[in-house]
């Protein structure tokens, strides 16, 4: 009997622990582009969904700002991130081999809204609102695609040879799109640049006072948000893991997951889709 028990123990030791026991939790984050409560709701649902689909523990960790999301990805603290277009470019540049694998259907042709305090009396225009020159202006985060990179690009196009600081009387950075809306709505800044999807979400949530703030211009479209995964994910979680992760994201159908993103679905995407942002980043001096 004793020899039989020892034989079982020896077999377990030789087999070693299961891969599931060895595999670390899959950790992800997302840029803090709007209210923290909305981010917790959004990413908590994603974590539960991915854990069910991938069969391993999945954890979401919040970060304080856009650069912190890139840093967490770069140092391996997270393996996946919901980045804006430009932060995704920065992250993939810092971690060669990393892949953009999914974006919202709306992200292929994203846009920025220029918004203004209604006291200015500006009407919505088809062309860039040059009459905003000399006003106070706020971007979102310094690393935001729709809140800084592309708005700065459009400003430079409208006023050749001038920086935003030379066009506007005062330039600020709110930190996130919801905050941009509140600052312009309160009159702390007269004009601002905001992610159109956050404007729509905040409007539906009753956080936008139409009597105090309005959209005065819609920008041309550009590629934006995406899910980016580290290139070493397969080495850590097993061959084919990245493909499985991509398919899980594309397969999301639950409106309860999609609506907090302001997206109808996720679709496949590649790094090449963000080449226009690389070019704009270099032309504006925001990307080395």
Q: Is the pLDDT of residue 195 over 70?
A: yes
Q: Alpha helices, DSSP H only, in 190-270?
A: 196-204, 233-237, 241-250, 255-258
Residue 156 class from Cβ within 10 Å (0-12 exposed, 13-18 middle, 19+ buried)?
Answer: middle
The whole-number pLDDT of residue 23 equals 80
Lowest mean pLDDT among 28-42, 86-100, 174-188, 272-286: 28-42
The whole-number pLDDT of residue 21 equals 56
Name residue, tokens 């069910």.
52
Q: What pTM did the predictor assign?
A: 0.86
- Residue among 2, 35, 20, 5 nearest 182 (CA): 35
Q: Provide the CB-side half-sphere exposure for 64 (13 A, CA).
A: 2
Q: Using pLDDT thresholds of 50, 70 and 90, give the confidence band for residue 158.
A: very high
Task: Provide CB contacts within 8 A for 101, sequence distance 6+.
Answer: 226, 227, 228, 229, 242, 245, 246, 249, 268, 269
Cα separation of 255 and 262, whole Å? 10
Task: Kindly report, residue by residue over 245-278, the tens digit of the pLDDT.
Answer: 999 999 999 999 999 999 999 999 999 999 999 9
Cβ distance 139 to 151 under 8 Å?
yes
Could you tell me what percent of the chain has a pLDDT over 70? 93
DSSP 155-203: HHHHSTT--HHHHSSEEEE-SSHHHHHHHHHHTSSSEEEEEHHHHHHHH
Q: Using pLDDT thresholds of 50, 70 and 90, give the confidence band for residue 36.
A: confident
Q: Is the pLDDT of residue 13 over 80?
A: no
Classify 135 as helix, strand or coil: coil
Task: Kindly report, residue by residue over 218-240, the tens digit of the pLDDT.
Answer: 999 999 999 999 999 999 999 99
Mean pLDDT, rounded, for 119-142:
97
Q: Is the pLDDT of residue 19 over 50?
A: no
Query: What are the structural domains, with CATH classification, of the chain?
Result: 2-108+223-283 (3.40.190.10), 111-218 (3.40.190.10)
The whole-number pLDDT of residue 288 equals 83
Cα separation of 36 and 269, whole Å? 27
Cβ distance 221 to 111 under 8 Å?
yes
Task: Kindly report, residue by residue over 53-76, the tens digit of the pLDDT.
Answer: 999 999 999 999 999 999 999 999
Planar angle of CA 66, 34, 275, nearest 5 degrees: 50
Mean pLDDT, rounded, for 89-99:
97
Across the chain, mean pLDDT equals: 92
**Cα 26 vs. chain centroid, distance in angstroms?**
18
- Residue among 39, 145, 139 nearest 90 (CA): 145
How far, CA to CA in Å, does 152 sit from each of 138, 147, 159, 198, 239? 11, 9, 10, 19, 41
Cα separation of 3 and 24, whole Å? 35
Query: Running DSSP on this structure, what letter comes out for residue 219?
Result: P
Cα separation of 205 and 235, whole Å? 42
Could you tell me what percent of the chain has a pLDDT over 90? 88
Q: Is the pLDDT of residue 193 over 70?
A: yes
The whole-number pLDDT of residue 22 equals 72
Please give the residue that has the higher pLDDT: either 11 or 164: 164
Q: Is the pLDDT of residue 129 over 50?
A: yes
The whole-number pLDDT of residue 114 equals 98
Mean pLDDT, rounded, for 167-181:
97
């Amino acid at each position: 009997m004793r020899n039989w028990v020892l034989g079982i123990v020896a077999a377990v030791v030789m087999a070693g622990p299961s891969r599931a026991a060895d595999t670390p939790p899959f950790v992800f984050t997302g840029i803090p582009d709007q209210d923290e409560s909305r981010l917790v709701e959004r990413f908590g649902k994603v974590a539960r969904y991915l854990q069910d689909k991938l069969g391993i523990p999945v954890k979401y960790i919040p970060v304080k700002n856009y650069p912190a999301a890139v840093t967490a990805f770069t140092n391996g603290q997270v393996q996946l991130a919901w980045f804006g277009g430009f932060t995704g470019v920065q992250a993939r540049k810092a971690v060669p081999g990393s892949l953009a694998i999914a974006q919202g259907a709306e992200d292929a042709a994203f846009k920025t809204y220029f918004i203004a305090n209604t006291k200015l009396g500006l009407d919505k225009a088809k062309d860039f609102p040059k009459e905003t020159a000399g006003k106070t202006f706020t971007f979102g985060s310094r690393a935001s695609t729709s809140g800084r990179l592309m708005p700065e690009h459009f400003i430079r196009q409208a006023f050749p040879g001038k920086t935003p600081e030379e066009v506007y009387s005062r330039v600020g950075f709110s930190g996130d799109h919801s905050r941009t809306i509140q600052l312009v709505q309160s009159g702390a800044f007269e004009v601002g640049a905001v992610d159109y999807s956050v404007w729509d979400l905040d409007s539906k949530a009753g956080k936008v006072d139409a009597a105090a703030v309005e959209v005065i211009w819609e920008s041309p479209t550009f590629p934006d948000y995406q899910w980016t995964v580290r290139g070493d994910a397969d080495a850590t979680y097993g061959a084919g893991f990245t493909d499985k992760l991509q398919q899980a994201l594309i397969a999301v159908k639950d409106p309860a997951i999609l609506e907090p993103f302001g997206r109808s679905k996720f679709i496949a995407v590649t790094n090449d889709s963000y080449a226009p942002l690389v070019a704009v980043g270099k032309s504006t001096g925001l990307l080395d």
